[in-house]
Structure 1
Amino acid sequence: MKILGIDTSSEVATVAIMDDDKLIGEYTINHKKTHSQKLMPMIDEMFKSCEITPNDIDLIGVCIGPGSFTGLRIGVATAKAIAHARNIHIAVVNSLESLAFNMNLSKGIICPIIDAQRNQVYTCKYSWENNTLVSIDNISVKNIDELIDEIKERYEEVVLLGEAVDLHKDKLNDLDNIYIAPNSHKLARASSVCELAFEKYKKGDVKNHYDVVPYYIRKSQAEVQYEEKLKRMGENGK
């Protein structure tokens, strides 16, 4: 079974192809969020390099969020288009579990963080139990200072990874009980999306492309500002 993995939930654009348990190609760019320009050329180039075509793909794994609103729409729309053309299923993966999967040898608490703007992060905590990645709390949006206070109270080592680690590194460097993931594992990897998608496929946890939508958690900043503008206009019109 050949699986195409796609993750555009952050500034990183990453795609991969896995053939059952074998990773045969992975392409990652961590340079500006111009996913609309880069994603399809990345996929096309990877197909050529791996000497396969879209007709060889049996399943698509796509990261649905949380993360960049625009990036998520681009990644999900691309996955849906390919799945529709091929009439194949999609396995959806959230961006935090995909990041946590990068640290599959960790024995501590894994805490991925993704920038949510305004000093906030999308986050969730995970651990490995019997070779299975398990979430130990709910996905949420937290102020980075609130999350740091939570980490300080834990007696275990906490592994931090995700693009927001670099954004808040000055605050995180003061913590004694953390381990910052190495650069090779710190950011999104489509190979992790592929592996999680394969596990979900084996459990029957797949979707028709019509049913796949981005996972936003909250409204975009543009939507919030628009609603505030309408509210002010309404108040001024009274």
Structure 2
Amino acid sequence: MTLILSIETAVSVCSVALHNDDGLVGLMELRQENIHAQKLMPLIKDLLGQVGVGSGALDAVAVSEGPGSYTGLRIGVSTAKGIAFAHQLPLIAVGTLDALAHQVVDMVEPESFIVPLIDARRMEVYSKVFDGKLQEIEPITPVIVDEKSYAAYLESGRVYCCGDAVGKVAEVIDHPNARFLKVYNSAASVGDLALKKFRQKDFVDLAYFEPNYLKEFRVLKSKKNPLAL
């Protein structure tokens, strides 16, 4: 039976899941900032132990490919690649926003819209727009949110927003068709989509795959004079 390990570290959640042909068989996750480097491998070890399998029993490794936190994505992808390389397993990349939208498709009307959102600091978000059947309408886009954001969709039907940026988006978008769901990233939905990709043999090149950071990572230098007291 197929067994896939899935990893989600694109945002503050550190989440790992195991899926077989019947669906989700195990999930462990922590929602805390800046813990991926310390907690990801112990979570994987604990999850495999809970289910009673070793890493050698895996058939594939899946990872949330972004967009999201530079550090979180780097840790998740490097860990997934390391496990896949060590056990000669295929690597499956799942869009972070696709996995997020997948969680709410059963909660919405077919004629509505789904907008998964990831916080990109200040009033900027990474978003994507799907219809109520999870067909992509608008690709991944960085959006500076204001009261007019997603107006065309809001005028056409209900718009269901989900993800870690819903709080700040809800503060500026006031429309009767706007719905803000407390649904967040999880390796459970990464694994759901990864299972479909595994059956289609939709794998990425282990040697050359890189996360979708969407924006170039920049280190901001302090303007303070280091010699000043």
Residue deviations 1:5-61, cap 9 Å, x none?
101000111110001122110112111122101111111111111111101110111
TM-score for both structures, normalised by structure 2: 0.89
Alpha-carbon distance in 2 for matches of 1:151, 1:26: 37
User: Given residue 139 of structure 1, which amino acid in structure 2 is its aligned partner?
Assistant: I
Contact 2:153 2:159 in 1 (8 A): no
Alpha-carbon offset, residue 199 of structure 1? 1.1
Unaligned runs of 5+ in 1: 230-238
User: Given residue 84 of structure 1, which amino acid in structure 2 is its aligned partner?
Assistant: F
Tell me, what secondary structure is at the counterpart of 1:10? coil
Give the RMSD, CA atoms, in angstroms: 2.0
Residue deviations 1:113-159, cap 9 Å, x none?
10111310000001244xxx321111110101176353665321111
User: Given residue 46 of structure 1, which amino acid in structure 2 is its aligned partner?
Assistant: L
1:78-157 matches, cutoff 5 A = 78-105=79-106, 106=108, 107=110, 108-129=112-133, 133-145=134-146, 148-150=149-151, 153-157=154-158
Alpha-carbon distance in 1 for matches of 2:7, 2:37: 13
Alpha-carbon distance in 2 for matches of 1:138, 1:20: 29
Residue deviations 1:145-204, cap 9 Å, x none?
1763536653211110000112333224x22112222x3xx1011111111111112222
- Cα distance, 1:16–1:175 mapped onto 2, change above 3 Å: same
Count residues with an aligned counterpart.
219
Alpha-carbon offset, residue 208 of structure 1? 3.3
Alpha-carbon distance in 2 for matches of 1:104, 1:119: 26
Alpha-carbon offset, residue 102 of structure 1? 0.4
Alpha-carbon offset, residue 100 of structure 1? 0.3
Paired position in structure 2 for 1:209: 206
Contact 1:163 1:187 in 2 (8 A): yes
Contact 1:126 1:134 in 2 (8 A): yes
User: Given residue 188 of structure 2, which amino acid in structure 1 is its aligned partner?
Assistant: S
Alpha-carbon offset, residue 217 of structure 1? 1.2
Alpha-carbon distance in 1 for matches of 2:8, 2:188: 10
Alpha-carbon distance in 1 for matches of 2:132, 2:136: 9
Alpha-carbon distance in 1 for matches of 2:165, 2:20: 31
Tell me, what secondary structure is at the counterpart of 2:62? strand
- Cα distance, 1:157–1:163 mapped onto 2, change above 3 Å: same
Alpha-carbon distance in 2 for matches of 1:149, 1:207: 32
Contact 1:61 1:90 in 2 (8 A): yes
- Cα distance, 1:16–1:147 mapped onto 2, change above 3 Å: farther
1:26-65 matches, cutoff 5 A = 26-65=27-66
Residue deviations 1:57-116, cap 9 Å, x none?
101110010000000000000000000011010110111001000012122211011011
Contact 1:3 1:18 in 2 (8 A): yes
Alpha-carbon distance in 1 for matches of 2:86, 2:14: 22
- Cα distance, 1:55–1:147 mapped onto 2, change above 3 Å: farther
Paired position in structure 2 for 1:177: 177
